[in-house]
Structure 1
Amino acid sequence: MSQELVHIDIRTYLQAELVRRCKANPRYSLRAMADFLNLESSALSKILNGKRAVTATMFEKLATKLALAPDEIEAFGSQIEEPRGRSRLRPPKKAAFNYQKIADDHYLIFSDWYHFAILELLAVEGFEPKPNWIARTLGLSLAETKAAIERLTRNGFIEVHQSGRWVDATGSVTNIESRTPSSAARKLQLQLFTKALHAIEHIPIEERDHTGMTMAVDSKLLPEAKRRVAKFRRELCDFLESSSRKDSVYQMSIALFPLSKRSKTTSRRKS
């Protein structure tokens, strides 16, 4: 398909497309996309939230506007049926488990920083289970937030109780690298260190800690250094999470990397 990721239906495709456009242009909005698609913004909002069906006629117009590839038209169009004279988007049958969708969801969850930030936000005092509040608190677009919430809920990371309370169903997750694709891990680290750079410029020094040390080392000690960093990371996490009063979500990112380039001669001598 023409998209990088496979989408389960036209609704999730539209969600992903709105998020993509908002990332490319932070001023882009649901209203702008609705105008592009020749839809009322309220109608597009209902479609994205699963509260309005996509008719066959509407799907044809969307396919043209979005320049969908033939295989995408076939895949999404196969879900359009006409029960009792009405055409609408048929939800995928529960029996038809979509493993590709699960894989795509997990890639996005482990590669975009805000998914685990949302999960941690559930433990913060005053948390409001509302997309607008979450978007404002984390500095996200509403489209990104709604798509992330749905993705986390669909894959069992968030459980919504009958009382309306949201629960983090993952337990304590402090290190996800072992089950993260390398490309997703790289994307996540790039995002997190970009956030760290932003914090240097915009967050008061009293609310953050950016420190570093330059040293000459024996590179053979690096494996043990990594183990010590991991131990420190877990201990500090336990300490910061020990309080019953949590009012903020923080990110701890530790970087240990070479500034110098080792010559081949040096490498042979040390090996």
Structure 2
Amino acid sequence: MKDVLKYTNYHQYIADYYAEKKAKSAFTWQTFTRAAGFSSPVFLKYVSEGRSNLGEETARQVANAMGLVGYEQDYFVEMVKFGHAKTDEEKKSIFNRMLAIADIHKVRVVEGESFRFFEDWKNPVLRELAPAMPGAKPLAMAHACRPEVSAAEVSETLNFLVKANLLQKDKDGNYTQTDKIVTSGPMNFAPLALRGLQRQMGEIALGAIENVPQDERHFSGLTLGITREAYKKIVQEIADFQKRVIAIATSESATDEVYRLNVQLFPMTKKSVNKG
């Protein structure tokens, strides 16, 4: 069975645990559920399918039934809390506790490095900037950033990017990208991580209106009356447009500056406009 610390979705872990036990013995949902102290013979089956949920106390019951002890049980309970957290701040706090447990026990949570990457605007910016400034020291990179950051923050970010295999550093101290593009992929927490990054980038964009010369930035917008079907078509058009932008950016190996492109499409009215 794969280490519980490599999961971020407790429903999936329970499903995988059952599937492995079932493959090796005459294990049943009724047997599993009874061992966890529940009366319904299908309760954990429903949990594995996402149709029912666990609370903190029932999470420990299930963890015991699966033989999880110590830090494994603590991680499983945090995973349950993460699955039901209501706010971004709560989710972020819980996920960081999960990562801390994994780090202590030298287990790499694959999604954890992606979460950390999208958690801070400095990560994508320095991933682009560092290869464009061969031989540059952290202080020089710090002065090149908008908004300006400290050399210590640059060093910390570069160390993370190398550790996460998002940058490679050669013997001369030069950086290269391991992949040209980084995407969020099918992360369980993608909305959480990306909302935080988009919020930061939105705030930086507001500052750029005042602090960046007009011939070095482009801001434009449209206010439209649309249907739900038109909304879906526009979203697809934006996705296609972003692919074309990526193709233009990656067609050249050189970098003069690091830019951020924000594309937002959001409602300015409520859905009741045409009702009544």
Aligned length: 174
Instruction: Give, as a single letter, the amino acid of the residue that structure 1 aligns with 2:108.
Output: Y
Give the TM-score normalised by the residue count of structure 2: 0.56
Residue 98 of structure 1, CA deviation: 3.1
Structure-to-structure mapping, 1:38-49, within 5 angstroms? none
> What's the counterpart of residue 197 of structure 1?
206
Distance in structure 2 (CA, Å) of the matches to 1:211 and 1:107: 30
State the match for 1:238 in structure 2. Answer: 247
Partner SS for 2:176:
strand
Number of the residue aligned with 1:131: 138
Residue 112 (structure 1) aligned to one of 92, 111, 120: 120
For the residue of structure 2 that corresponds to 1:99, the secondary structure is: coil
**What's the CA shift for 1:156?**
1.1
1:54 is matched with: none
Query: Which TM-score applies when normalising by structure 1?
Result: 0.57
Q: How far apart, in 2, do the equivalents of 1:202 and 1:107 lie?
A: 30
Q: Which has the higher helix share?
A: 2
Q: Residue type matched to 1:134 in 2?
A: M
Compared CA separation, residues 237 and 171, structure 1 to 2 (3 A) = closer
Structure having greater relative contact order (Cα 8 Å, sep ≥ 6): 1
Provide the rounded CA distance (Å) in 2 between the counterparts of 1:172 and 1:238.
Answer: 11
Q: State the shift of 1:171 in Å.
A: 2.9
d(CA) in 1 for partners of 2:160 and 2:255? 25
1:99 alignment partner in structure 2: 108
Residues 128 and 134 in structure 1, CA contact (< 8 A), matched pair in contact too: no
| Contact kept in structure 1, 2:184 and 2:190, CA below 8 Å | no
1:253 matched to 2:262: yes
**Cα distance 1:137–1:107, how it changes in 2: closer, same or farther (>3 A)?**
same
Q: Are the aligned partners of 1:129 and 1:166 in contact in 2 as well (CA < 8 Å)?
A: no
Counterpart mapping for 1:32-181 below 5 A: 97-99=106-108, 104-124=112-132, 126-138=133-145, 139-173=148-182, 175-176=183-184, 178-179=186-187, 181=190
The aligned amino acid for 1:202 is N
Deviation at 1:170, TM superposition (A): 2.7
Q: Deviations over 1:105-135 (max 9, x none)?
A: 43221111110111111342x4444211121
CA separation of 1:195/1:233 partners in 2, compared to 1, >3 Å: closer, same or farther?
Answer: same
Distance 2:155 2:207 in 1: 24
Tell me: CA distance 1:121–1:185, structure 2 relative to 1, closer, same or farther (3 Å): same
Query: How far apart, in 1, do the equivalents of 2:153 and 2:272 lie?
Result: 45
Deviation at 1:244, TM superposition (A): 4.3
Shift of 1:199: 0.6
For 2:163 and 2:123, the matched residues in 1 are separated by: 13
SS in 2 for 1:159: strand
Q: Specify the SS of the correspondent of 2:158.
A: helix
C-alpha distance in structure 2 between counterparts of 1:228 and 1:127, whole Å = 37
Amino acid at match of 1:133: A
Compute the displacement of 1:264 (Å).
8.7
| Paired AA for residue 222 in structure 1 | Y
Q: Which runs of 5+ in 1 are unaligned?
A: 1-71, 76-91
Q: Considering only aligned residues, what root-mean-square deviation do their CA atoms show, in Å?
A: 2.9
Give 1:204 shift: 0.8
Moved over 6 A (4+): none
